Structure 1
Amino acid sequence: MDSLTQIVLGAAVGEAVLGKKVGNRAMLWGAIAGTIPDLDVVWRYLTDTITATEMHRGFSHSIIFALIAAPFFGWLVHQIKKRPDVGWTGWSKLFFWGLFTHPLLDAFTTWGTQIFWPFHWRVAFNSIFVVDPLYTLPFLICVIAAATRGRDTLSRKRTNNLGIYLSTAYLLFTVLIKFAVNHKVEASLQEQGITYTKISTRPAPLNTVLWNINVDTQDAYLIGDYSFFDSQPIVYKTFPKKRTQAQKWIERDEVQRLIAISEGWYILEKEEESWVYNDLRFGLISNDENDSQFVFRYLLTENDGTITATEDRPTPKNGKKLLIDLWQRIKGN
């Protein structure tokens, strides 16, 4: 999830663990704990793109990291604060839950997280977009309201807990929504006589009403979307896999690593003189009616027998239009 959401979650967890003893400082340290796992972005500046992508939401988002790092950070804060009533164990408990709930939340997003690192199993429920106001705003309001009340008051505890309960209920509700969407997609494919091997659904930006759909068939991927307000059948756009033309590149180790990252959802194609690796998991972005590109794409170049991938995300030319189009599509077809 986005940084603000993780800060809010960490603050709420910190309050739940130590708020009664240290007041708003528990929220502060909880927010810091909730931010620490995302410091793995530093790998972008220390290694190549493929390796950095593999390490994103890896070790720092695992149970092992939480177990190792929590006692260290707990000891560090204990040395700074010297609170006998809290002690090393109290601060360690706060940091453990702040570090652990971060990857738990990320597991519901499309990118997922390697919570069971070192096992190469990325948990991704694909039920919530990385920025979702319906998750974050009520949670944020409850945390702010709790912070304004006395640390020994029952209303402070209840308000903070309300934020945790509401956000958790919404998160679980998105999983139920996803099941309903998958059922709708499977029915539409059967009605249209489409044979497929697997499907992938994920919410469109900022909501859980409109969902993007990927369908894997023998020679092509089908991409469509579905809103709960739709009155027309789901329409799929076809994207040929083009495996034969790109076979020599597909066999290369660096490309195989990208394929593993994208869980097999990819199209490798030649654009002018360059080869481009498209990660299909995050869908398309449109700059105008005739110009759509995949959100995650990498330019591949070869030097001295080594393939280098450079991230090439398309930049929206008209952000306001994208939001208007998104809202119109949410309202149904």
Structure 2
Amino acid sequence: MDSLTQIVLGAAVGEAVLGRKAGNKAQLYGAIAGTIPDLDVIARYFTDTITATEIHRGFSHSVLFAVIASPVLGWIVNRMEHKLNLGWRSWAWLFFWGIFTHPLLDAFTTWGTQIFYPFDYRVAFNSIFVIDPLYTLPFLICTIWAMFLKRDTLSRKRMNLTGIVLSSSYLLLSVLLKSMALGQFEAALKEQNIAYNEISTRPAALNTILWNANVDTQDAYLIADYSFFDSKPISFKSYPKNRKREPNFTNPQSQQNLQRLIYISQGWYLMEEKEGNWYFYDLRFGLMPVANGKEQFVFSYLLKEENGVLTAQETEKAPRDAGLLLETLWERVKGN
């Protein structure tokens, strides 16, 4: 999830663990704990795009990291806050839950998380978008409200718990809505006599009303969307795989880097040659509208061989496309 959401979750968890003893400092350190796993993004400044993408939501998002980091951080904060006389174990417990709940939440997104690292398995329930105001805003209001209540009062505890319950309930609701949307896609495929190998569904940006689907067929990927307010049948758009036309890099390292990209995309990918350049599209995050009524895949990479080795550069998104995305998204959420 986005940084603000993780800060709010961490602050609420910190409050639940030590709020009565440490007051707002529990929220402060909980918020810090909630942001720590995402420090893995600094890898993009020190390594190539493929490696940085592999690192993201890896070790720092695992149970192992929470177990290792929490005692160290607990000891440091206990030295800093020695006047509270809470002991390092209390602070370590706060940091463990602040760090661990971060990947738990991320597991519900499309990117998922390697919560069981070093085991090479990424957990992704695909039920909530990385930014969802209905999850974050009520949670934020309750957490801030709790800050202004006396730390040893029942009202503060209840307010903090209300935020946790509301956000968790919405998270569980997203799983139910995903199941309902999946049923609609499967029914449409059956009605249209479309044979397929696999289907993957996820919510569109900022909501859980509009859902996207990728469908794996023998020769193509089908992409469709469905809003719970729709009145027309679901329509699938076909994107041929054209696997035989994909580039065959002679350099073993280049071929290996391409396979790494394919692995990152979990096999949901397309490649296209445009103006002499090859582009790699990760289909898991769907399409977004751009100027002139066109669409492009949210995550696309320009492939180049530099010094004989394949590199990937994520294509930039124009700021004006964000406004177009919101406008198009709102119209589509309302139904077809």
Q: Could you list the per-position Cα deviations for residues 100-147 of structure 1 after superposition, in whole angstroms to 9, with x for gaps in the alignment?
A: 000000000000000000111110000000000110001001101111
Q: Deviations over 1:254-313 (max 9, x none)?
A: 110001100000001111111100000001111135421101011111133310111114
Within 1, Cα distance between the matches of 2:85 and 2:322?
A: 51
Structure 1, unmatched stretches of 5+, are none
Unaligned 5+ residue runs, structure 2? Answer: none
Q: How does 1:183-198 map to 2 (within 5 A)?
A: 183-198=183-198
Choose 318-327 or 69-78, whichever is displaced more: 318-327
Does 2:232 correspond to 1:232? yes
Amino acid aligned to 2:106? D
Task: Quote the residue 1:213 is aligned against.
Answer: 213
The equivalent of 2:268 in structure 1 is: 265
Give the corresponding residue for 1:301. 304
Cα 1:313–1:189 shift into 2, 3 Å: farther
- Number of residue pairs aligned between Structure 1 and Structure 2: 333
Q: Distance in 1 between matches of 2:10 and 2:21?
A: 17
What does residue 73 of structure 1 align with? 73
Task: Give runs of aligned pairs for residues 315-330 of structure 1, distance below 5 A.
Answer: 315-330=318-333
Q: TM-score, normalised by structure 1?
A: 0.97
1:201 aligns to 2:204 (yes or no): no
Contact 1:295 1:313 in 2 (8 A): no
Q: Does 1:93 align with 2:93?
A: yes
Write the deviation string for residues 127-168 of structure 1: whole angstroms up to 9, x where unpaired. 000000110001001101111100010000000001001101
Q: 1:318 to 1:115 in 2, by over 3 A?
A: closer
Q: Provide the residue aligned with 1:33 in structure 2.
A: 33
Paired with 1:151 and 1:322, the residues of 2 have a C-alpha distance of: 43
Tell me whether 1-10 or 267-276 shows the greater mean CA deviation.
267-276
Q: d(CA) in 2 for partners of 1:228 and 1:201?
A: 14
Q: Tell me, what secondary structure is at the counterpart of 1:244? A: helix
Cα distance in structure 2, aligned partners of 1:311 and 1:199: 26
Query: Which range moved further: 259-268 or 312-321?
Result: 312-321
CA distance in 2, matches of 1:318, 1:116: 36
SS at match of 2:208: coil
Letter in 1 for 2:140: L
Q: Residue 180 of structure 1 aligns to a residue in which SS?
A: helix
Q: CA deviation at 1:249?
A: 4.5
- Provide the rounded CA distance (Å) in 1 between the counterparts of 2:293 and 2:221: 19
CA contact (8 A) 1:286 1:316 kept: no
1:288 to 287, 291, 307: 291
Distance 2:249 2:205 in 1: 32
Mapped to 2, the partners of 1:6 and 1:162 lie a distance apart of: 17
CA drift at 1:247: 5.0
Task: Letter of the 1:149 partner, please give it.
Answer: L
Code of the residue aligned with 1:190 in structure 2: it is K
SS at 1:128's partner residue? coil
Cα distance in 2 between the residues matched to 1:242 and 1:249:
16
Match of 1:120 in 2: 120
- 2:335 is aligned to 332
Q: Provide the identity percentage.
A: 63
Report the Cα distance in structure 1 between the residues aligned to 2:238 and 2:316, rounded to whole angstroms. 21
Letter matched to residue 153 of structure 1: T
Alpha-carbon distance between aligned partners in 2 of 1:322 and 1:314, rounded to the nearest angstrom: 11
1:228, 1:157 → 2: CA distance?
36
1:151 aligns with 151
Q: 1:239: how far off?
A: 0.7
Q: Aligned AA for 1:172?
A: L
Question: Structure 2: how far apart are the matches of 1:226 and 1:136?
Answer: 24
The 1:285/1:125 distance shift into structure 2, 3 A limit, reads same
> What's the TM-score, normalizing by structure 2?
0.97
Cα root mean square deviation, aligned? 1.3
